[in-house]
Structure 1
């Protein structure tokens, strides 16, 4: 069966019944048009804080929100080729009026939000080409940026263009999408994975995937921002870039399927080392609450790297377990993600079929984020980076620990309402502040 834009328009207009639209199973699609919208509202109560600075989340009660609406359009321009374009509208305001005060932020959509006025931007524009190498056929289900069809089990897939590194790397069935699953940054990827991207989390580059039986090898290079955590990207991919290599293995454990992944990454760019910035800070005391030390000590072709391990495993039908752990070198400032040098996240997801609601889900997870000795010394000397630094020397460092739990309730087919709770212990690694209790409600729709 072939998918038709006219048929999709008929669904939207109500000419075709909703039941017919949803019941239709597509064997092969030549084009696709799918949409999502998500609204996430969060509130934290007042908490104890002995001091606050420009990069501190404020101790008084606050609320925040994000809104996003995305179109996922695609078609097959030639055999085994796919072209996708994703325009997106975003809006939102973080806690404290700025994205500061934590390593593991509580809303994975906040990097895309551009303030209280809606903004439209190009999220993705990329080509995907698949070369089959036999091994039997397997079905590909229709999804966002994925058209229904069949492919060889053994194949090579090349993605080129404007997309997110996380579109290809670090997948996990139970902790990946902040629009439908856990909300915290440390649950939709490794918090210590400083993957190359612009300030919204996207970039330009390529990624290759080689599928061979139960193994997958992935590799890719992506653009880095021209300045750390900036919006413009640097297209000098021979000098400034983010490289990653990932190995995946599917397995069966205790009669249940699962996967493990090992990911190595290396970034190169104009960056500051924490040792250099610490020395500058000590020579220029009193410059709290700004990242001047990092800006003044940046040098050409600095590198940073990390290694991570990712597991997803069905424990029993309807119950899934996940684990991510990563260690980064921690000698160089954050380039494109968040202020974490060592991260661990683990948890369970329970599917609603266990209690007679197949489209519901419950999740619970625990995260632990740490800093390197070099970064801790910089903060102890009064340094401030992009997201953390509480206006005085960090004297009571503790790992940042976060508990998150959610219930996702299926309202109708394609719409969900989620209640979420997060408890952040030692926000921004400062035992003199917190804990912070964050309550959230999220509405999500797909059509």
Structure 2
């Protein structure tokens, strides 16, 4: 029997309530901490007593549950193809629940495990957009709840000379005093985005912007399985205001596949990032540059375009017929953010990939730019509320564009309907606004609106207006 979305929401809220009760009976109260320089946009939910000791080892437990419901009405579409967003009125939802379990097995060595459960139905089977409107949608595969391991990793901290920095108790972080100059090594199962391209204002679709283009750079084809996780090794070197990061992650066996390829020297995703933190008028900001290099068996768009033309294969995923050898895919981007007041900050991201080959793990975009702001509600006496506004533009390389215009269909997009109805290319433009309100001590409820112009880069379709409701609880 299929469980209805409302039942899933109730189950999620009940599970958090039970977990909070259990945690308050088992774990000791966390010590107080000093205030941050600016208001937190990561999570305004107050910490609950979730840190203590077990068998003499420092441990912590956190959890979250999130329900997102999205809807749109009929939109203009003169034609549609195999991978088009359905032009009729539609509803989509996701529900997720995660436990964050951690233990410190040595003074500077932590282990973490995150079991996760997800249920949901994406718009049009997760096709028809470059910038998808729900960051949780990639993890869902139907109304039946799926349980899996999201993360299972070890973190080793190597402290050097420098000022002392206190890392507060939070999900996947036991309270720890470290040096401002340190090396951190993470190995195991985690998301590349756990390490790279962090942002105070646009990162987590469970509590901030929902669109994939605000989770990270949309054109950043980072190595991951179909749910967004992978196995690998990452290193971070913190040197006062500088941070340098590098990692190698497993690539999927096939593009956007669930199974990973463990031949890490033959198929992988590498990335490096340099970040410079600063203060302007005593308000924090940073600038970072990220580059990636993927290697795996991928289709080249030029080969796929030739296949479509030579075999009259319009309306098919011809990319599946021309994968023959390992390809290299690269990209580079820049990210900056700056607090303007204690409660207001801005950010911007821009990225470009070489665009010769198909998508490995993320979505259909070869260049992307996003700008926006985040603001807390202190000025209207709601300091735990938050609002965000953003604008994005996503584009395709000439190689991917030629493939689609010749009648080819890609993994997520492809509006081919006939020889006279192929993609009328124009960049995809998305605006997004959200408001989150603290409804009870550890529960947020929010509204989100997204306006998508030229969905899947096709001027012949749209625009689409998507309204979302979200409820998120933590412990």
TM-score by length of 1: 0.94
2:324 corresponds to which of 299, 303, 306? 299
Within 1, Cα distance between the matches of 2:208 and 2:228?
A: 18
2:73 corresponds to which of 45, 62, 68? 45
Q: Deviations over 1:68-94 (max 9, x none)?
A: 000110101122001011111100001
Which residue in the other structure is 1:378 paired with?
A: 403
| 1:286, distance to aligned residue in structure 2 (A) | 4.2
Which residue in the other structure is 2:102 paired with?
A: 74
Which residue in the other structure is 2:375 paired with?
A: 350
Which residue in the other structure is 2:117 paired with?
A: 89
Which residue in the other structure is 1:445 paired with?
A: 473
1:364 corresponds to which of 385, 389, 411? 389
Which residue in the other structure is 2:167 paired with?
A: 140
Within 1, Cα distance between the matches of 2:446 and 2:245?
A: 33
Runs of 4+ displaced beyond 6 Å = 25-29
Q: Deviations over 1:151-203 (max 9, x none)?
A: 11100000000110000001000000000000000001000000000000011
Q: Deviations over 1:314-338 (max 9, x none)?
A: 0112101011100110010000000
Which residue in the other structure is 1:332 paired with?
A: 357
Equivalent positions of 1:159-174 (< 5 A) are 159-174=186-201
Q: Structure 2 unaligned runs (5+)?
A: 1-16, 31-46
Which residue in the other structure is 1:125 paired with?
A: 152
| 1:53, distance to aligned residue in structure 2 (A) | 1.4
Which residue in the other structure is 1:3 paired with?
A: none
TM-score by length of 2: 0.89
| 1:16, distance to aligned residue in structure 2 (A) | 5.7
| 1:204, distance to aligned residue in structure 2 (A) | 0.6
* Structure 1 residue matching 2:461: 3-state secondary structure: coil
Which residue in the other structure is 1:387 paired with?
A: 412
Within 1, Cα distance between the matches of 2:182 and 2:52?
A: 20
- CA distance change for structure 1 residues 277 and 75 in 2, over 3 Å: closer, same or farther? same
* Structure 2 residue matching 1:175: 3-state secondary structure: coil
Within 2, Cα distance between the matches of 1:225 and 1:17?
A: 40
CA RMSD for the aligned pairs? Answer: 2.1
Contact 1:27 1:148 in 2 (8 A): no
Contact 1:50 1:433 in 2 (8 A): yes
Which residue in the other structure is 2:345 paired with?
A: 320
Q: Structure 1 unaligned runs (5+)?
A: 1-7
Which residue in the other structure is 1:219 paired with?
A: 246
- Tell whether 2:21 aligns with 1:12: yes
Which residue in the other structure is 2:277 paired with?
A: 250
* Structure 1 residue matching 2:472: 3-state secondary structure: strand
Contact 2:393 2:427 in 1 (8 A): yes
- CA distance change for structure 1 residues 83 and 25 in 2, over 3 Å: closer, same or farther? closer
Say how many residue pairs are matched.
437
| 1:301, distance to aligned residue in structure 2 (A) | 1.8
Contact 2:121 2:142 in 1 (8 A): yes
| 1:358, distance to aligned residue in structure 2 (A) | 1.2
Within 2, Cα distance between the matches of 1:76 and 1:313?
A: 34
Contact 1:11 1:17 in 2 (8 A): no
Within 1, Cα distance between the matches of 2:454 and 2:341?
A: 34
- CA distance change for structure 1 residues 203 and 10 in 2, over 3 Å: closer, same or farther? closer
- Tell whether 2:433 aligns with 1:405: yes
Contact 2:423 2:457 in 1 (8 A): no
